[in-house]
Structure 1
């Protein structure tokens, strides 16, 4: 029976909660032995601070480093490959991980640019092979440190989804184009994790994974099986794990169980810590002033996610207000199909290679284009210089 630990952080003592959670699932010696090389994989998908519930809290990672070192780990590496359009080294610096690494004596590795080995995926749903970083392959222990977050393309991003950060940006693009939920199932067939420590200090609801609303939970969730851990986390977020396609798909593929009756929940009770997280809007209609998005149905998760990232950052910077003042509205169109309902009276922007042959005043190519390139091209319409 799979053990999952839920611990409340008391008096701000993150390290104590992590150690207690690990003890409840068998103790640190179950996972780390003398001389082991340990890879810690946080969620650092972008350069936005943990204070917004976007990225893994560095205090959680630091506590894990000290516990791993105490257990005898010889070499500890923090590894991440950030989202398409960003440089991992810049993200490490912006989030304070460079200072952290120097202070506590660990290495940082950009998993996007590491030396790679092609690994075939058995019984693939959509992707039959991926490039896997040398750092991952040479690690004795992989500690996955995701957050409690909603996700515009996947409903929730937890431990299964966080493993997408292991593969390079070229494979991330393929994953989105072929189907992100089935792709997450595929990569988790070969990307194994030995210990999962979910950073539930501050999560995010709504327009996740980057532009939602922070949610203070003050929790640590620990386990070893990503399907079971994600099922418990989804329940804590008041989300049915069967409605999260990649969690359900991973269970169907035999990667773990999402049936709580087949788990032993240790520590806090789910009922005592759960909170209803606001789910992300899938179609983006009516979310952003000045923008009429047409991403219904045929747009892949890559384009939908990139558009969401771009528009949220533009909203926060006051740029959508400028669009409304200059154009009234802009129509954004993405996907294989162009809806007949597209308002052609608006200035029309087509996004992604699927829309390359469609009529629009501005086309933003790539598969998918990054949210940063979308923002820059629309900023240019306003006479503003590119930021990225």
Structure 2
């Protein structure tokens, strides 16, 4: 039986935490060799501050990039392929503080949504025969995966394995949701490997993640060479049973790391000492006589935006005052033609929008829940605004 080591460090000094977490594994020299081209890959879900528990803390990324350079890396880049394709990865990296961190160290910034992709076969895949992966990503000698410790309302948690979706192009991200994202994430991690995973739990996220959750000042960093081992440990720290989380369980069954938590050795802080029950991400998909969501294979961004927008409209009393019969939000990549022509129906998200239909189109990839609610209110001439 193989034993996988995961380190856990708590504290207020982020740079010290990161260094200690990596040193407990043998130091950065174990993962980065002299002359290596290194990619530090944060989670850049969208243009949101790390203080919201949505994106990676730039201080964690900067500490890792500095350590890689100290270990002799020939070049270090910071990059991701954001889900906010309408803004662009480089702009999101800038808005989230990564450009400043890169500038201080002389690192480059990389948009993994851009450039040529390689079609990699998935042997014995759960759902995929192949995966399209950014060629630039594959050419790095070492990749340091830096996800955020947060919940997700489709995959339950969004941790290290889920963060690897950032190395595939937008069309592939959409395909993952079309075929089943849990199985697709497990398949992706069969063909894409990282040297080191450092989980940013300095500010974590609970509730309606990955974008609309509640920040948790957790002051914790986890690290390990095996991404599945780190994810299992992180899920346990969050109060979940790792083996009950679908993509984690499937990855374990396919031999991507430990078969269970019993094969993981934790160094530093014990899991029991810091375990906290995170609020799960459990959105309701409204389907009542006043509001409903019709989902044609939408991504998590549009599902969350639609559900939360209706929740906010409900909280502000919109449906009591509104004179319409039934509000319908249509989301997804497979929306049939003509659906948006129905009364009080809004097409939400760029994938659902094929052409404008009566002004009831809400664009974005994905639009924020607040924007969705406000656009609906504007359409009906209502000046009140939902609680934020």
Structure 1-normalised TM-score?
Answer: 0.85
Structure 2 vs 1, CA of residues 84 and 179 (structure 1 numbering), >3 Å: closer, same or farther? Answer: farther
Q: Secondary structure at the match of 2:32?
A: coil
Deviation at 1:164, TM superposition (A): 0.6
Structure 2 partner of 1:292: 291
Aligned length: 362
Aligned-residue offset at 1:177: 0.6
How far apart in 2 are the matches of 1:5 and 1:272? 13
What secondary structure, in the 3-state scheme, does the structure 2 residue paired with 1:46 have? coil
Q: Is the 8 A contact 2:291 2:328 kept in 1?
A: no
Q: CA deviation at 1:221?
A: 0.4
Identify if the C-alpha distance between structure 1 residues 52 and 375 changes in structure 2 by more than 3 Å, giving closer, same or farther. Answer: closer
Partner residue of 1:4 out of 6, 22, 29:
6
Deviation at 1:2, TM superposition (A): 0.7
C-alpha distance in 1, partners of 2:108/2:372? 36
Q: What are the superposed Cα offsets for residues 280-312 of structure 1, whole Å, 9 maximum, x if unpaired?
A: 1143459xx9973446xx764x34541313554
Which residue of 331, 335, 351 maps to 1:351?
331
Cα deviation for residue 373 of structure 1 reads 8.6
Is 1:314–1:375's contact at 8 Å kept on the other side of the alignment?
A: no
Query: Within 2, Cα distance between the matches of 1:258 and 1:8?
Result: 27
Alignment of 1:332-351 (within 5 A): 345-351=325-331
Normalised by the length of structure 2, the TM-score is 0.85
Residue 18 (structure 1) aligns with: 18
1:318-337 → structure 2 map (5 Å cutoff): 321=316, 323-324=318-319, 327=322
Name 1:54's counterpart in structure 2: 54
Whether the aligned pair in 2 keeps the contact of 1:40 and 1:77 (CA below 8 Å) is: yes
Quick check: 2:291–2:310 contact (8 Å CA) kept in 1?
A: no
Kept in 2, the 8 Å contact 1:21–1:220? The answer is yes
Show the 5 A alignment for 1:163-178.
163-178=164-179
> What residue in structure 1 maps to residue 302 of structure 2?
306
Correspondence for 1:342:
none
1:190 aligns with 2:165: no
Cα RMSD over matched residues?
2.9
Unaligned runs of 5+ in 1: 330-344
Aligned residue for 1:364? 347
1:1-388 to structure 2, matched below 5 A, reads 1-9=3-11, 12-86=12-86, 87-285=88-286, 292-294=291-293, 300=297, 302-310=298-306, 312=308, 321=316, 323-324=318-319, 327=322, 345-356=325-336, 360-361=342-343, 362=345, 364=347, 367=351, 370-372=365-367, 379-383=374-378
* Change over 3 Å in CA distance of 1:262–1:58 after alignment to 2: same
Aligned partners of 1:25, 1:291: CA distance in 2, in Å?
A: 55
Tell me, yes or no, if the aligned pair for 1:85 and 1:372 is still in contact at 8 Å.
no
After TM superposition, give the deviation of residue 242 of structure 1 in Å. Answer: 1.7
Question: Partners of 1:6 and 1:375 in 2: how far apart?
Answer: 36
